[in-house]
Amino acid sequence: MKIRSVDVYIIDLPTIRPHQLAMHTIVEQTIILARVMDEEGAEGWAEVATIGGASYGEGTPEAIKVNIDTYIAPLIIGKKPVHYDKIMHEVSLNVRGNNFAKAVVESAMVDLVARRRNIPAYELFGGQIHKSLPVAWTLASGDTSKDIEEAKESLHQKRHNIFKLKIGKGNPYKNVEHVLKIIEAVGDQARITVDVNQAWDETTATYCIEALQEGGVSMVEQPLPAWDNEGMSRLTDRFKVPIMADESLNSLQDSFQIAKHRAGNSFALKICKHGGMTQTKKVAAIAEGVGFGLYGGTMIESSLGTAICAQLYSTIPKFEFGTELFGPLLFKENITLNEIKYENYEIIIPDGPGFGMEIDMEKVKHFSRGL
């Protein structure tokens, strides 16, 4: 069967609490859904998420929709979705960049093909290695006592024992104190990492990472701006604590350059950043080839986007830093009829067919812009 249509929806979902990052505080998260339908009416669904409009990256929700509708959809309509890798290669020859748009279209084709075959999507990427993966929780209220209370409750419920702290906003030195107090409170029961979201210069990073390393932080994510690979290399050489590349790691070519120059020594994978599931597997292979640790990142997707990431990550041999697939836990509402399961500090990988999630069209209509 050939592809008949591609539909794109922009959804705004409220969160259970403010989620503070260096560039934006999320109280309502924007996700983009794509539906690919074949000539017999079978559907494949996929999702990507963005943060703060244009504050995180160049791919705004509005641009993603327009570029799919105008430039990508005409290239895939009439094609057989089973050839999704060939189709996306042809798209890449005609559409520059637009990794988020490419990722959501490719994933929707994957979902359609897997549903047609009545298999989980991970079977199309080499098969499942993991049935569950460790999942971190981000402590991002900005209030030390609230974060400690939240961490202790997560430990009590056996939901998370890896915690990430967003420390790119505000005074860096006070933020380091904030982290060290949390380590003092729960560090004997949990692993603590930090994410700077590009907010520091090299001088600030040198001082702060030294204090964080001495305090017991287990990983520092993207301390410098995405363009500063030389600075990231110097920090990687200077400190024992792993330095993770995130915003600087987008394309396959980025991953090669970071590995070659050691502009970090671990990778945060994100399907949307890399331009799709196929490309993400290639980035992971580069990391494996040079001995870099992996982290299964998130853009704070809802249940569908989280299932996509979880299924692909389940086919990758090792995640030294676990994953960050907590997105569904942050939303007040869900756009699928079924939910992602979390048990014993891990996310349970959804089984198929497809990505294993059933779309709730009433919720999609309710939260979509313009519907």
Domain spans of the chain, in order of start:
3-119+360-367, 124-348
Residue 237's Cα: distance from chain center in Å? 27
pLDDT band, very low/low/confident/very high, at 52 (cuts 50, 70, 90): low
Using alpha carbons only, what angle is made at residue 163 by residues 231 and 230, rounded to the nearest 5 degrees? 5
CATH code for the domain defined by 124-348: 3.20.20.120
The percentage of residues in the chain with a pLDDT greater than 90, rounded to a whole number, is 89
| pLDDT for the residue 1 | 86
Q: Which two tokens stand for residue 143?
A: 């209030």
Reduce the DSSP state of residue 152 to 3 states and report it.
helix
Residues in CB range of 348: below 8 A, 6 or more apart = 131, 132, 340, 341, 342
pLDDT at 371 over 90: no
How far is the C-alpha of 273 from the C-alpha of 249, rounded, in Å?
Answer: 8
Which residues are catalytic, by number? Answer: 166
pLDDT in tens, 71-103: 999 999 999 999 999 999 999 999 999 999 999
Helix count and strand count (H, E) for the chain = 13, 13
| DSSP annotation string for 57-113 | -S--HHHHHHHIIIIIHHHHTTS-GGGHHHHHHHHHHHS-S-HHHHHHHHHHHHHHH
Do residues 194 and 208 lie in contact, with contact meaning Cβ atoms separated by under 8 Å? no
pLDDT at 59 over 90: no
- Smallest Cα–Cα separation from 339: which of 363, 365, 306, 311? 306
| pLDDT for the residue 273 | 95
The percentage of residues in the chain with a pLDDT greater than 70, rounded to a whole number, is 96
Q: At the top level of CATH, which class does the domain 3-119+360-367 belong to?
A: alpha beta
The CA-atom distances, in angstroms, between 321 and each of 20, 96, 156, 194, 303 are: 22, 32, 21, 12, 21
pLDDT in tens, 103-137: 999 999 999 999 999 999 999 999 999 999 999 99
Average pLDDT, the chain: 94
